[in-house]
Structure 1
Amino acid sequence: MKLLNTEIKNKVLKSMLQILERERNAIIEANKKDLNAFEKEDQALYDRLIVNNKKVDEMIAAVEAVMLQDDPVGKEITNRTLKNNLNIVNTTAPFGTILIIYESRPDVTIEAAVLAFKANNKILLKGGKEALNSNLILEKCWHEALEDNGLSKDWIKLLHLKREETQEFLKNPTEPLDLIVPRGGERLINFVKTHATCAVLVSGRGNNFLYVSEHADWSKAVNVIINAKTDKISGCNALDKVLINKNLPQYEIKLKMLQEKLEQHKVEILVDNKVSHILPQKEMISNRDIWYEEFLALKLLIGEVESLDEAIDTINKYSGKHSASIITEDKAEAMNFMHNVDSAAVYHNASTRFTDGGQMGVGAELAISTDKLHHRGPLGLNQLVTNKYYVYGDGQVRV
């Protein structure tokens, strides 16, 4: 796809703002078809599927925010002139064609596309079948905005492929792909990494941990745990595991207090062997593999640790490397935790629910990357470019 100037890209986005507002009711009605066809056995997936007036407002806000951001393409990173008078300029450049695979969440059809397009990338959207009607009308809105401004619909395209066809497309793409972003479970991610013929940027699972130090302010700890667990169970930044230091003053009393508070919010509590001696009526885990699980439900596993080092080791072994938090009034301890926990975002005395592009000031996000190459954390507009060297000479040859 050719390099577009900022003005034409912003005109497309301005058109999209008007179209989304005009089609607001039609978008919500299309979404109702998806909701009515969905079996609610997976509450988290159902929650992600919902598009209401608030969600349309958020889509519009995402498009407007990206429209107002600086164009990330063509920015000078370095500029050097060598002794032989070669001028070497490193600049930001588009990836080319991005494929994103996701389920539920029709808002991804807006956020992923607006970011990719503003960064001058073509994007292929592979949404889940559960959101088909919602995604179709949103694709139609995009195509109208593009064509109204003299651009090809190919810039933003929904892949109408079944699961098996998607797998075949990954193995043998019918067009060049430069980057694939799988947003889904371990099975999808592993399949993409195995069969992709281009770069893969993983938007990994959550399975986020929180450690309560013996130096914690207990009131802060309880408030953060409740928020991180119950605010939005379908979020990849929701809390799944809590580790509590056994040396916390009034440890047993506080564990029982936490149990009572969680039960008020209808949270199912699982416990490890050590905590089960204090909360004997709670289900004790029988298989350590559960420490690897992302629950996406009102469920929380509470475990006991003896030290900061044990907490760090446990988190690094089992977590999804997404977000982790420590509750402590000891700043040196907090920094030790934050330096040594291997997660995209680490927190001191705060909820993991802030790992989000909008909350972190990035704006709309394509995904939360748990990879270490290129970028980690929210993938915003400035992260959807790569780099390119422009070398200016006057007949120089290497000797």
Structure 2
Amino acid sequence: MNTLLSIKKRNAVLLKMAQLLEEERQAIIEINKVDLESYQGEDISMYDRLKVDDAKVDEMIKSVTHLASQEDPVGVERFSFKHENGMQVYNKTASFGTVLIIYESRPDVTVEAAGIAFKSGNKILLKGGKESLRSNLKIVALWHQALTEESASTDWVEYLQFNRTETQAFLEKPTQPVDLIVPRGGERLIAFVKQHAACPVIVSGRGNNFVYVHKNANTAIALDVIVNGKTAKISACNAVDKVLIDANLPNKEAFIQALISKLKEFKVEILGDEKTSKFDEITRFESEEIWYEEFLDYKIVIGEIASNTDAIAKINTYSGGHSSSIITTNEAEAKTFMENVDTAAVYHNASTRFTDGGQLGLGGELAISTDKLHQRGPIGLQHLVTNKWYIFGNGQTR
């Protein structure tokens, strides 16, 4: 087990990493081009996540710089108690130890997730996808350079160059201690990790996010929120896949027509139920099972719903437990929706695209958890810790 580095040293490594990312900006982009050219798949969202350009490098630099400015998440007092026998009891945050991050196609995770894990005093094992291997190895080499230049062991960040069989073997019988595993990727990756892991797993689950346009909706807001949620970044887990429109929305037909024309500007394929598929540009979907699907594509389902109660029930049946939004001017209805919808993030009159550690004030995220333990939604620096009890006595016995 690595001895916890002082906060001063951890911050110095993060700032050094920011400097190296700037110095090696062009080299990272050039190496990433080779990964992009080698990518054989058809998945446009995978390709989008794989790509590193100047804006992505800017985000990486911003992420580690911001991490360096944040308070130390380790050793924070959460509870204290003075026992009647004179013992002083404290509960404080403590690092997990070793965190394994398994992810697909996103070189920025090699910076951001590793940075969060490192700042919170954890050793990081990174297992990226083969499609981003060159980019990841380049970034890990920069981590090692930053650690070396600040006189810290390169053991803090380790890259596991494993194939699927080797990964399975490592999950089942790790060759070194692993305290927590965070899979970031599609449902198949998550199911694979959960099936084989021998230690706790934080599930960064699927999106399949819903927007409910209530009968008292401001339709201009509804249009903006739906179009932004669907088209701004189709590869994001916080993108919108389903829209429920209240049957009693005034000017419902005109609103649906406006929504169709906005979505068609972005070439979004629109599917609908019995009621909404009466519109020319909406195709009737074949099976109710589609309500469970996360698309990660220019594809959306628009359905009609009778009431807020029905919308809540539908979302709780089909969504991925990630994000949902109600568009309404009625605050009581919004409160009912937000309290009863079982998703990690609930919105009133805003886009689900904000479910992101950086956007919600955490400065970055390791993952977005759709589990309820030990943390739900974006997992930031302050959540990548467990806790420990410190008891100070002078000979007390029980």
TM-score w.r.t. length of structure 1: 0.98
Q: CA-to-partner distance for each residue in 1:278-327, whole Å, 9 max, x for gaps?
A: x1452211112111111011111001110111111110111011000000
Equivalent runs, 1:91-102 vs 2, <5 Å: 91-102=92-103
Equivalent runs, 1:121-132 vs 2, <5 Å: 121-132=122-133
Please report how far the alpha carbon of residue 186 of structure 1 lies from its aligned counterpart in structure 2 after TM superposition. Answer: 2.1
User: Are residue 185 (structure 1) and residue 186 (structure 2) matched?
Assistant: yes
| 3-state SS of 1:167 partner | helix
Partner of 1:307: 307
1: CA distance between counterparts of 2:319 and 2:89?
A: 42
2: CA distance between counterparts of 1:294 and 1:158?
A: 30
Is the Cα–Cα contact under 8 Å of residues 276 and 282 in structure 2 kept in the other structure? Answer: no
Partner of 1:163: 164
Letter in 2 for 1:196: A
Partner of 1:28: 29
2: CA distance between counterparts of 1:30 and 1:378?
A: 30
Please report how far the alpha carbon of residue 180 of structure 1 lies from its aligned counterpart in structure 2 after TM superposition. Answer: 0.5
User: Are residue 294 (structure 1) and residue 277 (structure 2) matched?
Assistant: no
Partner of 1:339: 339
Q: CA-to-partner distance for each residue in 1:228-280, whole Å, 9 max, x for gaps?
A: 11111111100000000111112222212211121122111011122113x14
Partner of 2:108: 107
User: Are residue 384 (structure 1) and residue 381 (structure 2) matched?
Assistant: no
2: CA distance between counterparts of 1:102 and 1:47?
A: 14
Please report how far the alpha carbon of residue 194 of structure 1 lies from its aligned counterpart in structure 2 after TM superposition. Answer: 2.5
Partner of 1:226: 227
Deviates more, 1:148-157 or 1:322-331: 148-157
Letter in 2 for 1:204: G
Please report how far the alpha carbon of residue 24 of structure 1 lies from its aligned counterpart in structure 2 after TM superposition. Answer: 0.9
Percent same amino acid at aligned positions?
Answer: 58
Is the Cα–Cα contact under 8 Å of residues 120 and 385 in structure 2 kept in the other structure? Answer: yes
| 3-state SS of 1:253 partner | helix
| 3-state SS of 2:275 partner | helix
Letter in 2 for 1:370: T
Q: CA-to-partner distance for each residue in 1:359-387, whole Å, 9 max, x for gaps?
A: 11111111111111121111111111111
Q: Any stretches of 5+ residues in structure 2 without a counterpart?
A: none
Q: CA-to-partner distance for each residue in 1:135-194, whole Å, 9 max, x for gaps?
A: 010000000111112221110111100112111111111111100111122222222222
Q: Which runs of 4+ in 1 moved over 3 A?
A: none
| 3-state SS of 1:296 partner | coil
Partner of 1:61: 62
Computed over aligned residues only, the root mean square deviation of the Cα atoms, in angstroms, reads: 1.0
Aligned length: 397
2: CA distance between counterparts of 1:84 and 1:281?
A: 75
Is the Cα–Cα contact under 8 Å of residues 35 and 131 in structure 2 kept in the other structure? Answer: yes
Partner of 2:218: 217
**CA spacing shift, 1:343–1:92, aligned 2, 3 Å:** same
| 3-state SS of 1:199 partner | coil
Letter in 2 for 1:166: T
Equivalent runs, 1:9-158 vs 2, <5 Å: 9-39=10-40, 41-158=42-159
1: CA distance between counterparts of 2:256 and 2:73?
A: 49
Letter in 2 for 1:307: S
Letter in 1 for 2:266: H
2: CA distance between counterparts of 1:229 and 1:364?
A: 22
Partner of 1:252: 253
User: Are residue 357 (structure 1) and residue 357 (structure 2) matched?
Assistant: yes
| 3-state SS of 1:334 partner | helix
Deviates more, 1:350-359 or 1:246-255: 246-255
| 3-state SS of 1:273 partner | coil
| 3-state SS of 1:394 partner | coil
Is the Cα–Cα contact under 8 Å of residues 270 and 281 in structure 2 kept in the other structure? Answer: no
2: CA distance between counterparts of 1:10 and 1:258?
A: 47
Deviates more, 1:179-188 or 1:382-391: 179-188
Partner of 2:269: 268
Is the Cα–Cα contact under 8 Å of residues 247 and 305 in structure 2 kept in the other structure? Answer: yes
TM-score w.r.t. length of structure 2: 0.98
| 3-state SS of 2:21 partner | helix
1: CA distance between counterparts of 2:46 and 2:191?
A: 21
| 3-state SS of 1:387 partner | strand
1: CA distance between counterparts of 2:254 and 2:117?
A: 51
Please report how far the alpha carbon of residue 218 of structure 1 lies from its aligned counterpart in structure 2 after TM superposition. Answer: 0.8
Q: Any stretches of 5+ residues in structure 1 without a counterpart?
A: none
Please report how far the alpha carbon of residue 78 of structure 1 lies from its aligned counterpart in structure 2 after TM superposition. Answer: 1.3
| 3-state SS of 1:368 partner | strand
User: Are residue 394 (structure 1) and residue 372 (structure 2) matched?
Assistant: no
Please report how far the alpha carbon of residue 4 of structure 1 lies from its aligned counterpart in structure 2 after TM superposition. Answer: 1.3
2: CA distance between counterparts of 1:257 and 1:32?
A: 39
Partner of 1:328: 328
1: CA distance between counterparts of 2:177 and 2:119?
A: 20
2: CA distance between counterparts of 1:255 and 1:8?
A: 56
Equivalent runs, 1:191-206 vs 2, <5 Å: 191-206=192-207
| 3-state SS of 1:240 partner | strand
Partner of 2:283: 283
Deviates more, 1:328-337 or 1:48-57: 48-57
Partner of 2:316: 316
Please report how far the alpha carbon of residue 40 of structure 1 lies from its aligned counterpart in structure 2 after TM superposition. Answer: 5.3
